Structure 1
Amino acid sequence: MKSSIFLLLATSLAHAEARFAPGSTTDEITIPEHDTLDDSIVITTPENAPNAIDPNRGDTKKPPYYLLVGDSTVASNTGWGDGLLALTSHPDNGINWGKGGATTVSYREEGLWDQVISNTTEFKVDHEPIVTIQFGHNDHKVNSGISLHGFEENLKNMALDVKKAGGTPILITPLTVRSFEKDILVDSLAQQREKAIAAAKAAGVDFIDLNTASRNYVQKIGKEGSASYDLNSNDQVHLSPTGRAVFARMVADLLVKARPDLEKSLKAKDEVSEKIAAGEVVTVDQEKQQ
């Protein structure tokens, strides 16, 4: 087996022409109380759910334009957002609007949400604006002042705003924190996962369960295996270049599973996808990341 995987994704991260919002910062790390990992499956939406994903949903005659909304686990330099845009067939058909430290409240207060809605209105003429929305890492903190009910309502309203503007919202449950107690991954964002799914169902929109998918994968590779995905040895929230590549691939594969028609706009599954599915650690040749 090759000692490292040469990722087309990784090589293009620095060169992708995708635009992104400035001002990304790093969130503080909070390690919540222990909660054991459950055995929930990685499937994004049950077939009998009220919002079960319809492969024919969306304007498939128009190419997608990706607008990525979220906190630092989406933002440039710390999250999977730029990596996802690098996996698109036309990286300039997307903007990473991820913002470090953002909550579902601050994102509106700082005017970022208005810009996303403006983009949605602008690009819907020639594209299907696909607005992915992932929050939770900062909303769950006590000092955020955001209740679980408020978090759900905020996500639901964001999804409805996108629909009203003519876009396609896809809610994403938050990327797992890679913190372990002994050999068990701490399920620190379980409530945020549940509320994001509830918000999607309430708004009648699609969602992908990145939290479950990433938890299952990180649990399989363990603390030592996932360490290379950490931004640094003290940060199990934000992502290293390798981590950004791996979880961008995971998001892309989940999107295609949710919306098979998006396969036309996203690069096909590769060896990274196979490694993730097999629960194996992915390594990236450092020279190829430059």
Structure 2
Amino acid sequence: MSGAPGKPLRIHLAGDSTVAACPATEEPMSGWGAHLGQVSGWAVRNLAVGGASTASFREEGRWADLLTRVSQGDVVVLQFGHNDQKRPGELDARGGYSSNLAAFVSEARDAGARPVLCTSVARRRFTGAVLEPTLGEYPAAVRELAAREAVPLVDLEVFTSWWYDQLGPQRSRKLFVHLAPGEHPCWPDGLADDTHFSHRGARGVAAYVARALPAVLDGKGS
């Protein structure tokens, strides 16, 4: 997979904390975008930020900033949903959320880029040995938009759900930030977080994205 003739592939990432390069004060938390360049060898520009929804990413100027440095043939990867869920009504799955994603797709194409949609990574929520879905209709809305607009899709909700399920309730904890009190100076009271990845979890998702992107882009128009 390559970019425009004569130029290396460049990836621009738009998303929330599960994609972002987390600040040092949140170690050992990490988003998968922080590892994508290392595992793929591609040039990666990661504009994802904690707390971002499809609305706030535009409102805060991050989307405009992303577009200012997009060149012909670049790839723009979009993964939102966790924070859109927190704004019901305004950012419903098949309302503001999907409309905002559709606008990102259109504007990325207008800038000469190739957009790629990702469903949100799953949260790790087990009831006994059963992994419970928490993302509602948001992944389905992304799949529908990808099909409707002929946008390549990386289904991270399916992949991460499968991964956690294969590892089971205990071993999957290592993919996330679970710390006892006093174990890490950034979290003196400890932490049990089943949304945000450890570096191990983030690298695993990044490795999957690095394999999936060539497969969904090659031979697909955008």
> TM over 0.5, yes or no?
yes
**Fraction of identical pairs, as percent:** 30
* Displacement after TM superposition at 1:172 (Å): 0.5
* Displacement after TM superposition at 1:88 (Å): 2.8
Provide the residue aligned with 1:102 in structure 2. Answer: 52
* Displacement after TM superposition at 1:183 (Å): 1.0
Moved beyond 6 Å, runs of 4+: none
Provide the residue aligned with 2:185 in structure 1. Answer: none
* Displacement after TM superposition at 1:144 (Å): 7.9
Task: Indicate which of 111, 115, 119 corresponds to 2:61.
Answer: 111
- Equivalenced residues, count: 199
2:132 paired with 1:174:
no
**Change in CA separation of 1:213 and 1:200 when aligned onto 2, cut-off 3 Å:** same
Provide the residue aligned with 1:197 in structure 2. Answer: 143
Provide the residue aligned with 2:208 in structure 1. Answer: 250
Task: Indicate which of 127, 137, 148 corresponds to 2:82.
Answer: 137
* Secondary structure class of the residue paired with 1:66: strand
Counterpart-to-counterpart distance in 1, 2:90 and 2:128:
31
* Displacement after TM superposition at 1:86 (Å): 1.3
Report matched runs for 1:1-290 at 5 Å.
59=4, 62-77=7-22, 78-90=30-42, 93-120=43-70, 123-124=71-72, 128-142=73-87, 145-148=90-93, 149-232=95-178, 233-260=191-218
* Displacement after TM superposition at 1:160 (Å): 0.7
**Change in CA separation of 1:143 and 1:190 when aligned onto 2, cut-off 3 Å:** closer
* Secondary structure class of the residue paired with 2:162: helix
User: With CA pairs under 8 Å and 6+ residues apart, which has the higher RCO, 1 or 2?
Assistant: 1
TM-score by length of 2: 0.83
Counterpart-to-counterpart distance in 1, 2:209 and 2:111:
24
Structure 2: which 5+ residue stretches go unaligned?
A: 23-29, 179-190
TM-score by length of 1: 0.64
Structure 1: which 5+ residue stretches go unaligned?
A: 1-54, 262-290
Letter aligned with residue 160 of structure 1: S
> Is 1:153–1:199's contact at 8 Å kept on the other side of the alignment?
no
> Is 2:15–2:48's contact at 8 Å kept on the other side of the alignment?
yes
